[in-house]
Structure 1
Amino acid sequence: MDSTFSSYKIEDRSLIAFIKREIHNLAIQSGFTTHRAAETDIIVAELTSNLIKYAGGGEFLYRCCKDEKHKEIEIFCIDNGVGIDNVVKIMRDGYSTSNTLGEGLGAIKRLSNDFQMYSIKNWGTVQYIKIGEKADAGIVPAAPVFNHAVLSVNYPGENVCGDAYHIKYSEDGFKIFVGDGLGHGVNAHDAVQMAIKVFERSTSSDAGTILKEMHEGVKKTRGLVATVAVVDYKAQTWNICGIGNINTRIYRGLENKTYTPYNGIIGLNVPRTISSTIVPYLKHQIIIMHSDGLRTRWNLNDMMSIIKQSPGVIAASLYKDNLRGTDDATILVGKIN
């Protein structure tokens, strides 16, 4: 699946018609019926109109995900507006704060396969929408024990992303890779994609060893920074190691720990000795990994009830408050069920 979102800053109505046409064409190209594409048009129209009307503008992100079984469009709608006091109440059909019919959010909820909203007074609002090719397709089940979401955006003006992620599952556990090619653009993209190929081939269960293999395998590229996290179901452990500035934290309730990576550049120069950090793998943990396209001075505990939200909403909320805007940006959020 393509992991990169297209992003548009909406400050007035001038972009709305363009975005509607882009997503409509994307839906048709992805195999949506004409009727389902028309329903997608309604969702996009309501989201963008509300963004202007109630928040004075914001950011609209979308992508198409497709494989042999599923075709869907994902949307994040993010603003720094006044926020919403009662999300449950405002999503009911007929509720309005502006003397209209009050059917907008209800329509979005009915027509989408998944609609989530998180809002705090005077902070703003994050909305997540998933639109499947069939209205009654439901939500695609997440992995049995690891429910995750990734929000990845190109550096402004670039057509490819120099960040990437990959998750590899097995009977024994799973492995996560998050990497950032040096700089941005095609050369950064090539470096991180080469690293993913090494990651896929590796049979090691030690994150540090995988990074060493990666270092040897990407020497002809520009180089990258990356963190690998390996879960062993039998040992009930995380095995984590990083080189360069990929920020990695694990939360469990109010407790959290940041895992400091080694200095270096994979493919150019890495420490002679690399040791992984072993920590317990527990239910209800939240792992967050992101590139330096986002600032690192954040704390989930500062946002009301955020740990109860889905990984996608958590990722978008952190993206909203911490995007630098000077590089590609990728954030992965995973929850252990």
Structure 2
Amino acid sequence: MDKTFASYRIEERSYVAYIKREIHREVANTRFNEQKRGEIDIIVSELASNLVKHAKGGDFLYRVYDEGEKDSVFEMLCIDSGVGMADPAKMMRDGVSTTHTLGQGLGAIQRLSDNFQLYSLPKWGTIIYSMVTTNSDKTLRKSATLDVDISALCVNKPKETVCGDAFAMKRTDSTIQIFLGDGLGHGEHAHEAVKKAVSSFTECEESDPVSILRYMHEKVRRTRGLVASVAVLDLKSKYWKICAVGNILTRLYTGITFRNYLSYNGTVGMNIPNSLHNSEFDAEKNQFLVMCSDGIRSRYDISKYPSVLKYDMMVLAGAIYKDYTRGNDDSSIVVAKVS
């Protein structure tokens, strides 16, 4: 619940200083040392300035959070619809510039980041993802046995201070369970609904989606309610079980070929069908599960992004967000890769 991305739309240089101050203040309250805080300042300054300089503006998404009892994480996505790059690898080399500067910005950001990804297409735009962490092994977002890698991009509705969407996952001895919920509406009441849903998901001892949703339904009755999708990967039998209620889009991708899961009508916490059934799908290595809240238009198409599945999953989430966010609601994308 505390890992929502803050979002800013940067269209003029004067806004960059404000964003730098906001992020510096948040980072100062984490476990990053003075050197790391300075490096994050450089990353933020370079990428925020590049949005104005090269793309005439774009979306700047970031989050700062503590992971466990020892580690802190800073993540940032810069998304623009500029001219893009025909040769991203060339632009990463020091000394290469399109604006007659020293051309060291992207290379420096890559060196200062624990995870750096650049995805760009001519006439489409560019996505840059940077992660800095105090964790020396840099595997914070991977499961302990690497059965599934999961990334989640949850973004507040513009001008809202809390998110009405929420993602959660948990591991048992035999399953990996993934939840995405969207509280009805947005703002504080929607946030409270999904907060309660995450709590019930975490405490539930059931191992199949239907039972989890029914348990959650009882626990959130006093809230506004939500729509939700639960996917469970059975590690022994190697198949997915999926069940969803309401307007959450869930897809399973094998390459760019996908199968849609059809949700049941209803609202968790208010009214759900008496007859709910799990849908089962074979799990395969390199398969992708993608869940989207209704802040993302349902007709998204990842085939328009060549080679995107070779990048960090956060890049795929950023690409879907770039082209398909509605901009008038909380927006969430969860990507899970079977490995």
Q: Which of the five TM-score ranges fits, normalised by the shorter chain?
A: over 0.9
Who is 2:247 aligned against? 245
Post-superposition Cα deviations, 1:178-232, rounded to whole Å, max 9, x if no partner, equal: 0001111111111111112221222222211211111111111111100000111
Who is 1:90 aligned against? 91
Give the counterpart of 1:316 among 303, 315, 318: 318
Who is 1:53 aligned against? 53
Who is 2:128 aligned against? 127
Identity %: 46
Stretch of structure 1 that moved more, 98-107 or 258-267 = 98-107
Q: Report the CA distance between 1:14 and its aligned residue.
A: 1.6
Post-superposition Cα deviations, 1:253-283, rounded to whole Å, max 9, x if no partner, equal: 1321010100001111111100110110111
Q: Which residue identity lines up with residue 47 of structure 1 in the other structure?
A: L
Distance in 1 (CA, whole Å) between partners of 2:108 and 2:100 is 17
Stretch of structure 1 that moved more, 220-229 or 66-75 = 66-75
Who is 2:287 aligned against? 285
Distance in 2 (CA, whole Å) between partners of 1:21 and 1:255 is 44
Task: Determine if contact 1:79/1:124 at 8 Å carries over to the other structure.
Answer: yes
Post-superposition Cα deviations, 1:19-43, rounded to whole Å, max 9, x if no partner, equal: 1111111221113222322221111
Q: What is the TM-score of this pair, normalised by structure 2?
A: 0.96
Who is 2:78 aligned against? 77
Give the counterpart of 2:174 among 169, 172, 175: 172
Give the counterpart of 1:326 among 325, 328, 333: 328
Q: Report the CA distance between 1:138 and its aligned residue.
A: 5.2
- Secondary structure of the corresponding residue to residue 108 of structure 1: helix
Distance in 2 (CA, whole Å) between partners of 1:284 and 1:31 is 34
Who is 1:31 aligned against? 31
Distance in 2 (CA, whole Å) between partners of 1:258 and 1:222 is 27
Distance in 1 (CA, whole Å) between partners of 2:280 and 2:315 is 28
Who is 1:42 aligned against? 42
Q: Which residue identity lines up with residue 193 of structure 1 in the other structure?
A: K
Distance in 1 (CA, whole Å) between partners of 2:203 and 2:73 is 29
Q: Which residue identity lines up with residue 44 of structure 2 in the other structure?
A: V
Q: Report the CA distance between 1:308 and its aligned residue.
A: 1.5
Task: Determine if contact 1:114/1:138 at 8 Å carries over to the other structure.
Answer: no
Who is 2:118 aligned against? 117
Q: Which residue identity lines up with residue 314 of structure 2 in the other structure?
A: G
Task: Determine if contact 2:228/2:248 at 8 Å carries over to the other structure.
Answer: yes
Distance in 1 (CA, whole Å) between partners of 2:218 and 2:271 is 10
Who is 1:185 aligned against? 187
Task: Determine if contact 1:2/1:64 at 8 Å carries over to the other structure.
Answer: no
- Secondary structure of the corresponding residue to residue 129 of structure 1: strand
Distance in 1 (CA, whole Å) between partners of 2:158 and 2:169 is 26
Q: Which residue identity lines up with residue 139 of structure 2 in the other structure?
A: V
Task: Determine if contact 1:300/1:307 at 8 Å carries over to the other structure.
Answer: no
Q: Which residue identity lines up with residue 10 of structure 1 in the other structure?
A: I
Post-superposition Cα deviations, 1:151-178, rounded to whole Å, max 9, x if no partner, equal: 1111122211111011011120210010
Distance in 2 (CA, whole Å) between partners of 1:259 and 1:219 is 25
Distance in 2 (CA, whole Å) between partners of 1:145 and 1:41 is 34
Distance in 1 (CA, whole Å) between partners of 2:196 and 2:40 is 36
Q: Which residue identity lines up with residue 322 of structure 1 in the other structure?
A: Y
Q: What is the TM-score of this pair, normalised by structure 1?
A: 0.96
Distance in 2 (CA, whole Å) between partners of 1:213 and 1:326 is 31
- Secondary structure of the corresponding residue to residue 270 of structure 2: coil
Q: Report the CA distance between 1:112 and its aligned residue.
A: 1.4
Task: Determine if contact 2:175/2:207 at 8 Å carries over to the other structure.
Answer: no
Post-superposition Cα deviations, 1:128-157, rounded to whole Å, max 9, x if no partner, equal: 0012248xx352251112111111111122
Task: Determine if contact 2:31/2:71 at 8 Å carries over to the other structure.
Answer: no
Unaligned residue ranges in structure 1 (runs of 5+): none
Q: Report the CA distance between 1:233 and its aligned residue.
A: 1.0
- Secondary structure of the corresponding residue to residue 29 of structure 1: coil
Who is 2:212 aligned against? 210
Distance in 1 (CA, whole Å) between partners of 2:257 and 2:322 is 23
Distance in 1 (CA, whole Å) between partners of 2:26 and 2:134 is 11
Q: Which residue identity lines up with residue 48 of structure 1 in the other structure?
A: A
Distance in 1 (CA, whole Å) between partners of 2:24 and 2:150 is 27
Post-superposition Cα deviations, 1:36-77, rounded to whole Å, max 9, x if no partner, equal: 222211111111111111111101011112121311211000
Q: Which residue identity lines up with residue 74 of structure 2 in the other structure?
A: I
CA RMSD, aligned part only?
Answer: 1.3
Unaligned residue ranges in structure 2 (runs of 5+): none
- Secondary structure of the corresponding residue to residue 5 of structure 2: strand
Post-superposition Cα deviations, 1:67-122, rounded to whole Å, max 9, x if no partner, equal: 21311211000000000111111111111222221101111011111110101110
